[in-house]
Amino acid sequence: MARHWLTPGEYREVVQIGAVKLDADNFAVLDEFQMLVLPRINPVLSPYFEKLTGITSRQAARQGEDFAIAYAGFLAFAENGPIAAFGRDDRILRDNLRLYGMTGAGPLPLFYDLRGWFAVLGVDPRGMHSCDIAPALGMPFEGRAHNALDDARSLASVMAVMASRGTRLRPAA
Protein backbone atom coordinates (compact mmCIF):
# COMPACT_ATOMS: atom_id res chain seq x y z
CA MET A 1 0.00 0.00 0.00
CA ALA A 2 2.82 2.43 0.89
CA ARG A 3 4.23 1.96 -2.63
CA HIS A 4 0.78 2.32 -4.23
CA TRP A 5 1.12 -1.17 -5.70
CA LEU A 6 3.75 0.07 -8.17
CA THR A 7 6.44 -2.54 -7.50
CA PRO A 8 6.39 -5.45 -9.97
CA GLY A 9 4.10 -8.24 -8.77
CA GLU A 10 2.06 -5.96 -6.49
CA TYR A 11 -1.62 -5.64 -7.29
CA ARG A 12 -4.53 -4.19 -5.37
CA GLU A 13 -6.50 -7.41 -5.36
CA VAL A 14 -9.86 -7.47 -3.60
CA VAL A 15 -9.84 -9.74 -0.53
CA GLN A 16 -13.27 -8.93 0.93
CA ILE A 17 -16.50 -7.40 -0.30
CA GLY A 18 -18.92 -6.16 2.31
CA ALA A 19 -22.08 -4.16 1.73
CA VAL A 20 -25.41 -3.24 3.24
CA LYS A 21 -28.60 -2.57 1.34
CA LEU A 22 -30.56 0.40 2.64
CA ASP A 23 -34.15 1.54 2.35
CA ALA A 24 -33.93 4.76 0.35
CA ASP A 25 -36.63 6.45 2.45
CA ASN A 26 -35.46 5.79 6.01
CA PHE A 27 -31.96 4.26 5.62
CA ALA A 28 -33.00 1.11 7.49
CA VAL A 29 -30.73 -1.83 6.71
CA LEU A 30 -32.63 -4.27 4.49
CA ASP A 31 -29.91 -6.83 3.83
CA GLU A 32 -26.19 -7.46 4.16
CA PHE A 33 -23.56 -9.03 1.91
CA GLN A 34 -20.13 -10.28 2.89
CA MET A 35 -17.76 -12.48 0.96
CA LEU A 36 -14.07 -13.24 1.27
CA VAL A 37 -12.08 -13.34 -1.96
CA LEU A 38 -8.99 -15.46 -2.52
CA PRO A 39 -6.56 -13.32 -4.52
CA ARG A 40 -5.42 -15.05 -7.70
CA ILE A 41 -1.99 -13.47 -8.14
CA ASN A 42 -0.85 -13.03 -4.53
CA PRO A 43 -2.89 -15.47 -2.41
CA VAL A 44 -0.51 -15.12 0.54
CA LEU A 45 -1.61 -12.01 2.41
CA SER A 46 0.96 -9.72 3.98
CA PRO A 47 1.36 -9.61 7.76
CA TYR A 48 0.38 -5.92 7.57
CA PHE A 49 -2.90 -6.78 5.82
CA GLU A 50 -3.63 -9.62 8.23
CA LYS A 51 -3.08 -7.36 11.25
CA LEU A 52 -5.10 -4.51 9.72
CA THR A 53 -8.16 -6.54 8.72
CA GLY A 54 -8.00 -9.66 10.86
CA ILE A 55 -8.27 -11.73 7.67
CA THR A 56 -5.53 -14.34 7.40
CA SER A 57 -4.16 -16.12 4.36
CA ARG A 58 -5.48 -19.35 5.85
CA GLN A 59 -8.98 -17.87 6.19
CA ALA A 60 -8.92 -16.57 2.62
CA ALA A 61 -7.74 -19.96 1.34
CA ARG A 62 -10.48 -21.82 3.24
CA GLN A 63 -13.41 -19.43 2.89
CA GLY A 64 -12.47 -17.21 -0.02
CA GLU A 65 -14.18 -17.38 -3.37
CA ASP A 66 -12.73 -16.45 -6.72
CA PHE A 67 -13.20 -12.76 -7.52
CA ALA A 68 -15.54 -13.63 -10.42
CA ILE A 69 -17.91 -15.42 -8.04
CA ALA A 70 -17.73 -12.71 -5.38
CA TYR A 71 -18.23 -9.93 -7.94
CA ALA A 72 -21.24 -11.70 -9.48
CA GLY A 73 -22.68 -12.18 -5.99
CA PHE A 74 -22.16 -8.51 -5.19
CA LEU A 75 -23.87 -7.40 -8.42
CA ALA A 76 -26.80 -9.73 -7.71
CA PHE A 77 -27.01 -8.29 -4.19
CA ALA A 78 -26.96 -4.71 -5.54
CA GLU A 79 -29.82 -5.51 -7.96
CA ASN A 80 -28.73 -2.69 -10.31
CA GLY A 81 -29.25 -0.18 -7.52
CA PRO A 82 -26.68 2.52 -6.85
CA ILE A 83 -23.65 1.76 -4.70
CA ALA A 84 -21.97 4.16 -2.32
CA ALA A 85 -18.58 3.91 -0.66
CA PHE A 86 -15.98 5.92 1.16
CA GLY A 87 -13.71 6.81 -1.72
CA ARG A 88 -13.51 5.31 -5.15
CA ASP A 89 -14.09 1.60 -4.55
CA ASP A 90 -15.56 1.49 -8.04
CA ARG A 91 -12.03 2.00 -9.39
CA ILE A 92 -10.70 -0.88 -7.32
CA LEU A 93 -13.45 -3.16 -8.66
CA ARG A 94 -12.73 -2.02 -12.24
CA ASP A 95 -9.00 -2.59 -11.70
CA ASN A 96 -9.71 -6.15 -10.58
CA LEU A 97 -12.00 -6.75 -13.55
CA ARG A 98 -9.16 -5.68 -15.86
CA LEU A 99 -6.50 -7.56 -13.88
CA TYR A 100 -8.44 -10.81 -14.24
CA GLY A 101 -9.51 -10.20 -17.85
CA MET A 102 -13.19 -9.90 -16.95
CA THR A 103 -13.97 -7.13 -19.42
CA GLY A 104 -17.33 -8.68 -20.32
CA ALA A 105 -18.61 -8.70 -16.73
CA GLY A 106 -20.84 -5.70 -17.39
CA PRO A 107 -20.79 -2.17 -16.01
CA LEU A 108 -20.89 -1.30 -12.35
CA PRO A 109 -24.10 0.21 -11.02
CA LEU A 110 -24.27 3.97 -10.52
CA PHE A 111 -21.60 4.86 -7.97
CA TYR A 112 -21.54 7.53 -5.26
CA ASP A 113 -18.41 8.64 -3.42
CA LEU A 114 -19.56 9.62 0.08
CA ARG A 115 -16.61 11.86 0.84
CA GLY A 116 -18.57 14.88 -0.43
CA TRP A 117 -21.22 14.23 2.18
CA PHE A 118 -18.63 14.24 4.95
CA ALA A 119 -17.14 17.50 3.69
CA VAL A 120 -20.62 19.10 3.87
CA LEU A 121 -20.67 18.27 7.59
CA GLY A 122 -17.27 19.82 8.09
CA VAL A 123 -15.42 16.52 8.37
CA ASP A 124 -12.37 16.55 6.12
CA PRO A 125 -12.15 12.95 4.86
CA ARG A 126 -8.58 13.29 3.59
CA GLY A 127 -6.36 10.74 5.27
CA MET A 128 -9.34 9.03 6.87
CA HIS A 129 -10.70 5.53 6.40
CA SER A 130 -14.38 4.65 6.44
CA CYS A 131 -14.02 3.39 10.02
CA ASP A 132 -12.88 6.88 11.10
CA ILE A 133 -15.96 8.77 9.91
CA ALA A 134 -18.45 7.76 12.62
CA PRO A 135 -16.10 8.74 15.48
CA ALA A 136 -15.30 12.01 13.69
CA LEU A 137 -19.04 12.77 13.83
CA GLY A 138 -19.31 11.76 17.49
CA MET A 139 -20.78 8.34 16.73
CA PRO A 140 -19.33 5.01 17.87
CA PHE A 141 -17.76 2.58 15.41
CA GLU A 142 -19.00 -0.92 16.11
CA GLY A 143 -17.18 -4.01 14.93
CA ARG A 144 -13.67 -4.37 13.56
CA ALA A 145 -12.10 -1.46 11.70
CA HIS A 146 -11.14 -2.32 8.12
CA ASN A 147 -13.61 -5.20 7.97
CA ALA A 148 -15.61 -4.49 4.81
CA LEU A 149 -19.01 -5.36 6.29
CA ASP A 150 -18.40 -3.53 9.58
CA ASP A 151 -17.16 -0.49 7.64
CA ALA A 152 -20.30 -0.62 5.45
CA ARG A 153 -22.54 -0.88 8.52
CA SER A 154 -20.84 2.14 10.04
CA LEU A 155 -21.22 4.18 6.86
CA ALA A 156 -24.90 3.22 6.72
CA SER A 157 -25.47 4.57 10.23
CA VAL A 158 -23.59 7.76 9.33
CA MET A 159 -25.67 8.12 6.15
CA ALA A 160 -28.86 7.95 8.21
CA VAL A 161 -27.62 10.76 10.46
CA MET A 162 -26.46 12.83 7.49
CA ALA A 163 -29.76 12.39 5.68
CA SER A 164 -31.60 13.58 8.78
CA ARG A 165 -29.47 16.74 8.53
CA GLY A 166 -30.56 17.29 4.94
CA THR A 167 -27.39 16.47 3.01
CA ARG A 168 -27.69 14.87 -0.43
CA LEU A 169 -25.60 12.39 -2.38
CA ARG A 170 -23.57 13.49 -5.39
CA PRO A 171 -22.49 11.01 -8.09
CA ALA A 172 -18.75 10.44 -8.53
CA ALA A 173 -17.20 12.51 -11.30
For 127-168, what is each residue's pLDDT tens digit?
999 999 999 888 899 999 999 999 999 999 988 887 777 665
pLDDT at 173: 46
Greater confidence (143 vs 171) lies with 143
Q: How far apart are CA 96 and CA 10, in angstroms?
A: 12
The strand pairing partners of 16, in sequence order, are 36
Which one is the CATH code of 16-164: 3.30.300.90, 1.10.15.40, 3.30.420.10, 3.40.1380.20?
Answer: 3.30.420.10
- Is-contact 37 14, C-beta < 8 A? yes
Average pLDDT across the chain, whole number = 88
Query: Band of the pLDDT at 172, cuts 50, 70, 90?
Result: very low
pLDDT at 9: 72
What's the length of the chain?
A: 173
Given a cut of 80, whether residue 20 has pLDDT beyond it is yes
- Is-contact 142 153, C-beta < 8 A? yes
Structure letter (DSSP) for residue 37: B
- Residue 64, CA distances (Å) to 11, 37, 38, 160 in order: 17, 4, 5, 31
